Amino acid sequence: MSDANNEQRPLNLPCEKYEPLVSRPVELDALGVEVTLNVFDIHGDHVIQTCYGDICKIVNALRDYSKLLEMVCDEWGLEGFHRATYEFHAEKLREIAGKFQAGIGYDYDDAVTKCRKKRDKKQREEDVGGEALAIGYLKGKQTAEAKARKAAEGQKAGGTPPSSDDADMNFPWESSF
């Protein structure tokens, strides 16, 4: 068969198998208020149920990608048609993001400013995060060493019997040895 015949013949893809997964709304970050998008094309009217958080993520992705397209023009040394194509796509992506922003009352630039302020805040030193287990281990080790030093000093001073705290550290099977 020729390529022309392949292009004219529609693809036989199992749309009904995948369509329910694609059209299911996804709730993000408790922003579950549903938003309805009505799209009309030559195949008819399409309704997409989604949520505010999804639209915010789409706006963020479109704006970020438009910045990337413009950045690579200089980095890759693009000129002429290639540069114009990248710049044109970047502008169109910003326009689409602008429509979505206006539709839901979201401001990408304001969100980026808030994010930068949070990032620039000085981190608290007492925030242990994922190191809590290691710190707990070290504190336990220090406590055990302090008890051992105290017991050693007590034995040198007059042979005082070990304290009840030290008795708790003895294992029951040690008495049989």
Residues 125-156 pLDDT 10s = 655 565 777 777 888 899 999 999 888 888 87
The residue with greater pLDDT, 93 or 130, is: 93
pTM here?
A: 0.49
Q: What percent of the chain has pLDDT over 70?
A: 64
Q: Is 159 left (phi over 0), alpha (psi -120 to 50) or beta?
A: left
With residue 140 as reference, give the H or E element that holds it: helix 132-158
Residue-wise pLDDT for 40-80, tens only, equals: 888 888 888 888 888 899 999 999 999 999 998 888 889 99
- Which secondary-structure segment (H or E) carries 39? strand 34-41
Q: Looking at residue 25, what is its pLDDT? A: 43
Rounded-to-integer distance, Cα 144 and Cα 150, Å? 10
